[in-house]
Structure 1
Amino acid sequence: MFASYLITDSHFYSQDPHCLRKILTKVLANHTPTFVCLRDKSTPNYASLALATVSLVQKRGIKVLLHQDFKLAAVLGADGVHLPSDAKHCIQEAKHLGLHVIVSTHTLEEALYAQAQGADAITFSPIFASPGKGAPVGLEKLKEIVGILSLDVFALGGIVTNEHVRLCAQTGASGFASIRYFCDTLCNPQ
């Protein structure tokens, strides 16, 4: 099964818990991702957003991850945490709390480190051009990473169309992760 991983962004989903739930409910009416990650790097209200997200998403049978805050994820009963590459040193502590751990990676070295530390999965990015993310690594590099690692690899970065998803699936990746793909008419009419 080729898994799908919805990552939120406050630009599209709001920093207000009520608005976030409303928008996420609309998005989940059109998509059934395997995972949802609440990603918001700037709100002072992250715990309230996390509580709203965990309760909404888990009721739908979807695994919910929080971004970086593995202690809050454990307290709220989230399924896991998505650690940015600069927090990969927290993998074992998050695993000790019983969390599913996905780590952002951009190089083979980061990916191998995440695997050696016991991460369950990685995102590898950016596969395609994505705003503010630098030059894309491309599908061949994704295929190479998938061939080396034994953990789940999610393609990430610039995946906004069904064709992008199809191309990523052909590399042998376990799935894809995206912000804009799941937004449909909210942010990227196809």
Structure 2
Amino acid sequence: MKSYLITDPRFYSTTPTTFRMTMQKTLQKHQPDFALYRDKNNPDYAEMAKLFLELCSGSGKTKAILHGNVGLAAELHAYGVHLTSQQFDEIEAAKASGLFVVISCHSEAEILEAQRRGADAVTYSPIFNTPDKGEPKGLEDLNERVAKISLPIIALGGITTKAQVKAVEQSGCYGFASIRYFIDN
């Protein structure tokens, strides 16, 4: 099962020096398959994205994904882009740019739309209780989606413990994504 680290400025900082130290430590400790640089409010996003790409490249394993900006991801030669559930119309452009495309989904209909439009994978959330993210889908729902849909599904939302990672793995998911798991473990 693939692991997908998602950054959050609350844990990784918006200052380059602290961000570098935190990311290097986390990448070395967890060696995730993918990492997403997500900081929706940083006016220096492009500059921090360059640092993020450098750190992922230096890890030797982690594929760097940028959040929501197809043009920047292509310009900086990121591995991929993670689109929001409001960006289905950008899947085609992202694929045409040679990017691996992940899109956030919250229903079976959205997953099927992502598959129809050519996304490479989806995050499906929230699986477990997550602050401010609504009612969790739960493992039974996740199991049903994984059994019915061929598009790779990455479980997201409230995954903070090794037991939850194991439970998600048993669903047959392509992977799990988390912010807090990579900070707390």
Q: Does the alignment reach a TM-score above 0.5?
A: yes
Which sections of structure 2, spanning at least 5 residues, go unmatched? none
Give 1:187's aligned residue: none
Give 2:7's aligned residue: 8
Which sections of structure 1, spanning at least 5 residues, go unmatched? 185-189
Q: Given residue 40 of structure 1, which amino acid in structure 2 is its aligned partner? A: D
Give 1:21's aligned residue: 20
Shift of 1:19: 1.7
Q: Given residue 47 of structure 1, which amino acid in structure 2 is its aligned partner? A: A
Aligned counterparts of 1:109 and 1:68: Cα–Cα separation in 2: 21
Query: Contact 1:15–1:43 at 8 Å: present in 2 too?
Result: yes
Aligned counterparts of 1:4 and 1:51: Cα–Cα separation in 2: 22
Q: What are the Cα deviations for residues 89-143 of structure 1, in whole angstroms up to 9, with x where unaligned?
A: 2111100000000010000111000010000000000000001101100011111
Give 2:73's aligned residue: 73
Q: Given residue 69 of structure 2, which amino acid in structure 1 is its aligned partner? A: D
Segment drifting more, 13-22 vs 51-60: 13-22
Query: Contact 1:17–1:48 at 8 Å: present in 2 too?
Result: no
Aligned counterparts of 2:145 and 2:83: Cα–Cα separation in 1: 19
Say which SS state the counterpart of residue 6 (structure 1) adopts: strand
After superposition, the CA RMSD in angstroms is 0.9
Give 2:50's aligned residue: 51
Give 1:40's aligned residue: 39
Aligned counterparts of 1:71 and 1:18: Cα–Cα separation in 2: 26
Give 1:175's aligned residue: 175
Aligned counterparts of 1:51 and 1:165: Cα–Cα separation in 2: 30
Q: Given residue 119 of structure 1, which amino acid in structure 2 is its aligned partner? A: A
Aligned counterparts of 1:20 and 1:40: Cα–Cα separation in 2: 12
Query: Contact 1:70–1:81 at 8 Å: present in 2 too?
Result: yes
Give 1:138's aligned residue: 138
- Taking structure 2 as the reference length, the TM-score comes to 0.97
Shift of 1:18: 2.3
Q: How many residues align?
A: 184
Q: Given residue 43 of structure 1, which amino acid in structure 2 is its aligned partner? A: N
- Taking structure 1 as the reference length, the TM-score comes to 0.94
Query: Contact 1:85–1:103 at 8 Å: present in 2 too?
Result: yes
Q: Give % identity.
A: 48
Q: Given residue 12 of structure 1, which amino acid in structure 2 is its aligned partner? A: F
